[in-house]
Amino acid sequence: MTKTIFEKIILREIPATIHHEDDDLIIIDDINPVAPIHLLIIPKKKIETLNDLNAEDTELIGKMFQAAKKMAIKLGIDKSGYRTIFNCNEDGGQTVYHIHLHFIGGRSLGWPPG
């Protein structure tokens, strides 16, 4: 099976700007940012889509959101605000089939999104 771009980044087969890494997660810059701050919070465990989550993944998903909170504080946007997004499947805008949480901020974000 072909590795996703995220698996290649996790394995250091391709470079990325890494903001945080631990045993479960890696946080990198999005290569096509939509805001001044656009990070991807990626679990090291490959889960293709949100539809593939199991009960055992609950703690991992919680850890992803806790990482978002910590990044917001670290980057000084916890008070002004930020957005977190999971995309699921083609119509949901998912292009890499390894779940990842978009962390977007640094400017006012309108609603509805594109």
- Active-site positions read 100
Counting Cα atoms < 13 Å in the Cβ hemisphere of 34 gives 13
Q: What's residue 111's pLDDT?
A: 87
All domains in the chain, ordered by first residue: 5-105 (3.30.428.10)
* Beta-carbon contacts of residue 67 (< 8 Å; ≥ 6 apart): 20, 25, 27, 41
Q: What is the pTM of this model?
A: 0.95
Phi, psi of 94 (to 5 degrees): -75, 130
Q: pLDDT (tens digit, 9 = 90+) per residue, 15-28?
A: 999 999 999 999 99
Q: Please compute Rg for the chain using Cα positions.
A: 14
* Position 10 pLDDT exceeds 80: yes
Q: Which two tokens stand for residue 25?
A: 């997660």
pLDDT tens digits for range 62-77: 999 999 999 999 999 9
